[in-house]
């Protein structure tokens, strides 16, 4: 009996020691794994934050390098005597008509493209059947990938001859309005034709971005509007548009940037000339097309003049992006996302 009790006592004394040892071992292993995981996560965070910082710095450096190059190369044209710059009246007299032509072409393109793009994006996201929406979305994405030279060829071979009768009618009927003053171009290669081509190029960009933003509208907002008795259009107006407003503005500004900098399509479609008010006569020119057409043969001061024109286009694009950011930040607090 005594030995039995002693055996039980020894077993009782030995048992907890084994269990405690195993528990301590497991705890040490868990702590080791925790320390290893924490160290690995901290290293990953440092690597990721460093890579993100490096990417941001690289973007700023590239932007600064481009601006510095443009300024350095443009200085000779900016300080040259007026009679030595293209046109013989100084750089600013040379660049102002190009700026006006660029802004006119881009503005007309946006006026045409924006309502069409928003309408198509809204149809795909909220009205079209699923299969049809998938097909239309694929077609829109495909249009966005077509090279600009293809649009230019389409514009010069098909669109320009097709719009000549319409331009003739505008000149004869509404010729008293300066923008439709005749005689109309016999070839159709006008600033209005170039703007239509730009609109066709911009539509896929605005449509694709707007469609994705419309699809991100919270379903709870849409269902709440419908539950309160709103029609489909009222639901879109009260729930979808407020939520998507900043994103749609971003899409429009992105399309504007594409229209401002487009080169080949405008160079192929537009019959360049001096600045005129009429949109249906041959004339006007954009900065990008002017650079593309004259750069191969430029040298010396003429090359500096073209680079200075590129600097002006660079500043215009930068201002457009700054204004877009300001507009988005101003309307962000009214977005449905908040």
Out of 22, 50, 79, a domain closes at 79
Residues 155 and 293 in one domain: yes
Out of 55, 79, 103, a domain closes at 79
Residues 154 and 265 in one domain: yes
Cα–Cα dist 337/159, whole Å: 42
**Tokens encoding 187:** 């070839």
Residues 75 and 207 in one domain: no
**Tokens encoding 207:** 């449509």
Please say whether the beta carbons of 289 and 265 come within 8 A: no
pTM: predicted TM-score of the whole model, two decimal places: 0.78
Residues 213 and 73 in one domain: no
Cα–Cα dist 319/316, whole Å: 5
The reported pLDDT for the residue numbered 37 is: 52
- 8 or 226: which leads in pLDDT: 226
| Percent of the residues in the chain that have a pLDDT greater than 90, as a whole number | 12
Cα–Cα dist 75/298, whole Å: 16
- Please enumerate in sequence order all residues whose Cβ is within 8 A of that of 276, keeping only pairs 6 or more positions apart, or say none: 283, 284
Q: Is residue 336 predicted with pLDDT exceeding 70?
A: no
Helix (H) or strand (E) holding 318: helix 301-331
Stretch 267-290: mean pLDDT, rounded?
Answer: 84
Residues 64 and 190 in one domain: no
Q: Poorest-confidence range of 8-17, 270-279, 324-333?
A: 8-17
Stretch 37-65: mean pLDDT, rounded?
Answer: 82
The reported pLDDT for the residue numbered 116 is: 93
The string of pLDDT tens digits covering residues 202-224 is 999 999 889 888 988 888 888 88
Residues 282 and 251 in one domain: yes
Residues 9 and 75 in one domain: yes
Q: Is residue 311 predicted with pLDDT exceeding 50?
A: yes
Q: Is residue 18 predicted with pLDDT exceeding 90?
A: no
**Tokens encoding 141:** 């994405």
The reported pLDDT for the residue numbered 28 is: 52
Please say whether the beta carbons of 237 and 226 come within 8 A: no
The string of pLDDT tens digits covering residues 221-260 is 888 888 888 888 888 888 888 888 888 888 898 888 888 8
Residues 176 and 251 in one domain: yes
Longest dimension (CA), the chain: 128
- Please enumerate in sequence order all residues whose Cβ is within 8 A of that of 218, keeping only pairs 6 or more positions apart, or say none: 243, 336
- Structural domain containing residue 25: 1-79
Residues 236 and 182 in one domain: yes
Q: Is residue 109 predicted with pLDDT exceeding 60?
A: yes
Considering its fold, how many domains does the chain have in total? 2
Orientation angle between helical segments 287-294 and 301-331, nearest 10 degrees? 150
Long-range contacts at 320-323 (CB < 8 A, ≥ 24 apart): 320/253, 320/256, 320/257, 320/260, 321/253, 321/257, 323/253
Residues 50 and 165 in one domain: no
Q: pLDDT-based confidence at 111, cuts 50/70/90?
A: very high
Out of 61, 79, 97, a domain closes at 79
The reported pLDDT for the residue numbered 286 is: 86
The reported pLDDT for the residue numbered 338 is: 46
The string of pLDDT tens digits covering residues 92-107 is 888 888 899 899 999 9
The string of pLDDT tens digits covering residues 136-185 is 888 888 888 888 889 989 999 999 899 989 889 988 888 888 888 878 88
Residues 168 and 306 in one domain: yes
DSSP symbol at 159: I
Please say whether the beta carbons of 169 and 102 come within 8 A: no
């Amino acid at each position: 009996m005594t030995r039995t009790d002693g055996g039980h006592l020894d077993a009782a004394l030995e048992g907890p020691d084994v269990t405690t040892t195993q528990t301590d071992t497991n705890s040490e292993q868990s702590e080791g794994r925790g320390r290893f995981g924490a160290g690995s996560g901290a290293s990953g965070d440092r690597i990721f934050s460093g890579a993100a910082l490096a990417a941001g710095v690289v973007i700023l450096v590239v932007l600064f390098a481009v601006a510095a190059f443009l300024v350095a190369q443009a200085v000779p044209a900016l300080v040259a005597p007026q009679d030595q710059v293209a046109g013989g009246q100084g750089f600013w007299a040379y660049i102002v008509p190009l700026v006006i032509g660029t802004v006119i072409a881009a503005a007309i393109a946006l006026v045409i493209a924006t309502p069409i793009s928003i309408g198509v994006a809204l149809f795909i996201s909220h009205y079209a059947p699923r299969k049809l929406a998938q097909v239309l979305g694929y077609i829109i994405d495909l249009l966005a990938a077509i090279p600009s030279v293809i649009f230019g060829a389409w514009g010069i071979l098909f669109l320009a001859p097709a719009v000549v009768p319409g331009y003739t009618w505008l000149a004869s009927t509404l010729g008293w309005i300066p923008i439709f003053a005749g005689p109309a171009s016999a070839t159709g290669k006008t600033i209005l034709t170039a703007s239509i081509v730009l609109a066709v190029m911009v539509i896929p960009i605005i449509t694709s971005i707007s469609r994705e933003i419309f699809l991100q509208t919270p379903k709870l907002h849409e269902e709440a509007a419908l539950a309160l008795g709103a029609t489909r259009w009222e639901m879109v107006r009260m729930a979808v548009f407020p939520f998507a407003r900043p994103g749609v503005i971003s899409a429009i500004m992105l399309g504007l940037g594409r229209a401002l900098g487009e080169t080949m399509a405008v160079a192929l479609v537009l019959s360049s000339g001096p600045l005129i008010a009429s949109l249906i006569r041959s004339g006007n020119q954009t900065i990008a097309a002017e650079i593309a057409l004259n750069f191969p043969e430029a040298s010396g001061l003429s090359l500096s003049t073209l680079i200075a024109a590129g600097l002006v286009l660079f500043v215009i694009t930068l201002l457009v992006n700054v204004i877009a950011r300001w507009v988005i930040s101003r309307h962000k607090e009214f977005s449905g996302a908040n």
